[in-house]
Amino acid sequence: MLKDSKTKLYVNGKWQEGNSYYDLKSPYSGEIIARVPLATPEEVEEALASADRGKEVIKKMTSLERAKILEKASHIFEQRLEECAEILTQENAKPIKAAKGEILRTIETYRFAAEEAKRIHGETIPMDAAVSGRGWFAYTRREPLGVIAAITPFNFPFNLVAHKLGPAIAAGNSVVLKPANQTPLSALLTAEIFEEAGLPPGVLNVVTGRGSVIGDVLVRDTRVKMVTFTGSLEVGLSINAKAGLKKVTLELGSNSGLIVDSTYDLDSVVSRCIEGSFAYAGQVCISIQRIYVQQDLYEEFVSKFVERTKKLVMGDPREENTDVSAMIHMDEATRIEKWVEEAMNSNAEILSGGKREGALFEPTIITKGSSELSVNSKEAFAPIVTINPYNEWDEAIEMVNDSSYGLQAGVFTNSMDKAFDATDRIEVGGVMVNDIPSFRVDQMPYGGVKNSGMGKEGIKYSVEEMTNLKMVGFKVN
């Protein structure tokens, strides 16, 4: 069991016992790490009432006061980096070096939010551009929405909470946070850090437990003015169907495609691709799932890719040299095992990996499979990548676009014409030229098209989503 970590509900600035608990287990060792409350609908109701009061409290705070709390929280994360990384590694089996990387990003995300809190503003409107607008002075202002329900996934439990909480506080909203049931400790530690940073009671409330039991209470409540959700397509669709007229942003999955057209440095391209395909066992929404390589480069690319993938170290996420550890649950690993079987039963070829041991799944490379195979057409969210050659540029663009998802894509090319063509024609929320689709910094606009979701994150863009643009007009003369 983890010592000193708070495993209670955080409501109205108080740590309260739950009515019932569940055992949180390490995905890697199966050990019980903590006992965590399974919030009931009544407890969620209390959290909503608390957030409804909290919204009035934060509304009265100045932007400087909000910025200082975010800055202080960022600073506390910096001081408690090792502890945060350890909790993260324990609860979601992220290898410790990647866990530290996530905390460094979290520190930066809250710092961006602190900066953004100070520059939320409207603009003056040139009313007299319209025939009937003469004599008017008008401007817009951005107002907080009120109560925001934030529902988050297991894979980046500190930084994706930061992407909701940071801009919500910056914009002056209160929050009820429901973290993934696999990763409650990171959310509770975040609440502890904000309490220490001086966030008033009621502004942040954390309810742990099962989305299927308490999700509806949050999503349907009319006091909630926005649901900001990051997670799977299936849950995102159900939330959107139930949310009524409240604002909804959905950050969903993908099966990201990458084109390797030409490069002066194939070695570094291969290194980036391995990182993008297998980091955190592929459980990253912008993990590379499909790579299309120009025929002339294909053999060399594949041979280097396979050779280096075989050197990845699998094992205990607490070890500094571990590259790939357990998937979040054995069920996820067995799902992928079936997908690999399906590929093997077709005409596909496995170039490396393909085996499972408990929840550990080998980094797996597949080629020659049809685009209908699960490994190509669905979101794998696993350490698995398909690599296929192409001859014509248009063919590569079509293959990348042959997906129901559209989060991010990558293109390696020495041709400016192709680079611009790719940014024009690939149907995604973001295109990375000369890097992998998995590249993200936390202030950039981020969010998908097609089944990858709706709405944008990236602190400034989340603040826009989390505020209401009010129009104010004065008839002056």
CB atoms within 10 A of CB 427: 16
Distance of alpha carbon 213 from alpha carbon 195, whole angstroms: 27
Window contacting ligand NAD (CB under 6 A); options: 65-73, 137-145, 228-236, 306-314: 228-236
The region of 100-108, 166-174, 224-232, 368-376 touching ligand NAD under the rule CB under 6 A is: 224-232
The answer to whether the CB of 141 falls within 8 A of the CB of 472 is: yes
Stretch that binds ligand NAD, among 100-108, 131-139, 196-204, 226-234 (CB under 6 A): 226-234
Q: Is 155 strand, coil or helix?
A: coil
Specify the DSSP element, H or E, that contains 192.
Answer: helix 184-197
429: amino acid identity, one letter? G
Q: In this complex, which beta carbon is closest to ligand NAD, that of residue 200 or of residue 448?
A: 448
Q: Is residue 251 among the annotated active site residues?
A: yes
The nearest distance, CB 216 to ligand NAD, in angstroms, is 6
User: Which residue, 71 or 464, has its beta carbon nearer to ligand NAD?
Assistant: 464
User: Is 169:203 a contact under the CB 8 Å cutoff?
Assistant: yes
For residue 301, the surrounding DSSP H or E stretch is helix 295-309
Residue 431 structure tokens = 């295109």
Single out the residue of 384, 186, 433, 366 nearest to residue 276, CA to CA: 384
Q: Which of residues 279-318 bind ligand NAD (CB under 6 A)?
A: 285
Query: Which of 102-110, 235-243, 311-319, 420-428 is the region at the interface with ligand NAD (rule: CB under 6 A)?
Result: 235-243
Binding region for ligand NAD (CB under 6 A) out of 110-118, 249-257, 314-322, 393-401: 249-257
455 near ligand NAD, rule: CB under 6 A? no
Does the protein bind ligand NAD through residue 54 (CB under 6 A)? no
Which residue in this structure is represented by tokens 């980036």? 272
**What separation in angstroms does the CA of 307 have from each of 47, 301, 351, 387?**
52, 10, 10, 14
Which one of 61, 127, 235, 274 is in contact with ligand NAD (CB under 6 A)? 235
- Is 152 a binder of ligand NAD (CB under 6 A)? yes
Stretch of 49-57, 190-198, 212-220, 408-416 lying at the interface with ligand NAD (CB under 6 A): 212-220
Based on CB atoms, which residue is closest to ligand NAD, 209 or 353?
A: 209
Strand ranges for 75-154 from DSSP E: 124-125, 136-144, 147-151
Task: Pick out residues in 98-127 that bind ligand NAD (CB under 6 A).
Answer: none
- Residue 175 tokens read as 């929050």
Task: Identify the residue among 9, 239, 269, 380 touching ligand NAD (CB under 6 A).
Answer: 239
Site string for ligand NAD, 391-430 (x = CB under 6 A): ----------------x-----------------------
DSSP reduced 3-state for 173: coil
Does the footprint of ligand NAD cover residue 339 (CB under 6 A)?
Answer: no
Nearest to 63 by CA among 463, 421, 472: 463
Does 150 help bind ligand NAD (rule: CB under 6 A)? no
- Closer residue to ligand NAD in complex, CB, 7/152: 152
Q: How far is the CB of 378 from ligand NAD (least distance, A)?
A: 10
Q: CA gyration radius for the chain?
A: 23
The residue annotated as part of the active site, out of 86, 116, 195, 251, is: 251
379 in contact with ligand NAD (CB under 6 A): yes
For ligand NAD, the closer of residues 155 and 374 by Cβ is: 155
Q: Which of 9, 217, 252, 426 binds ligand NAD (CB under 6 A)?
A: 252
Q: CA 285 → CA 164, 193, 228, distances in Å?
A: 16, 27, 16
Considering the complex, state which of residue 200 and residue 253 has its C-beta at the smaller distance from ligand NAD. Answer: 253
- Enter the tokens of residue 177: 């946070």
Contact 205, 227 (CB under 8 A): no
Closest-CA residue to 71 (of 189, 188, 169): 169
155 binds ligand NAD (CB under 6 A): yes
Distance between CA 273 and CA 276 in Å, rounded?
5
| Residue 309 identity | T
Q: Determine, following the binding rule CB under 6 A, whether residue 381 of this chain makes contact with ligand NAD.
A: yes
Q: Name residues contacting ligand NAD, limited to 164-183 (CB under 6 A).
A: 178-181
Out of 102, 195, 285, 379, the active site residue is 285
Distance CA 457, CA 455 (A): 7
- Candidate list 7, 173, 230, 403; residue touching ligand NAD; CB under 6 A: 230
- Binds ligand NAD by CB under 6 A, chosen from 46, 91, 251, 261: 251
Task: Give 414: exposed, middle or buried? Use CB within 10 Å, 0-12, 13-18, 19+.
Answer: exposed
Which residue among 200, 215, 363, 383 contacts ligand NAD (CB under 6 A)? Answer: 215
Q: Provide the Cα torsion 364, 447, 102, 212; round to 10°.
A: -80
The amino acid occupying position 313 is V
- Residue 232 touches ligand NAD, criterion: CB under 6 A: yes
Closest-CA residue to 290 (of 367, 344, 361, 349): 367
By CB under 6 A, name the binding residues for ligand NAD.
151-155, 160, 178-181, 211-212, 215, 219, 230-232, 235, 238-239, 251-253, 285, 379, 381, 407, 453
- Catalytic sites, residue numbers: 251, 285
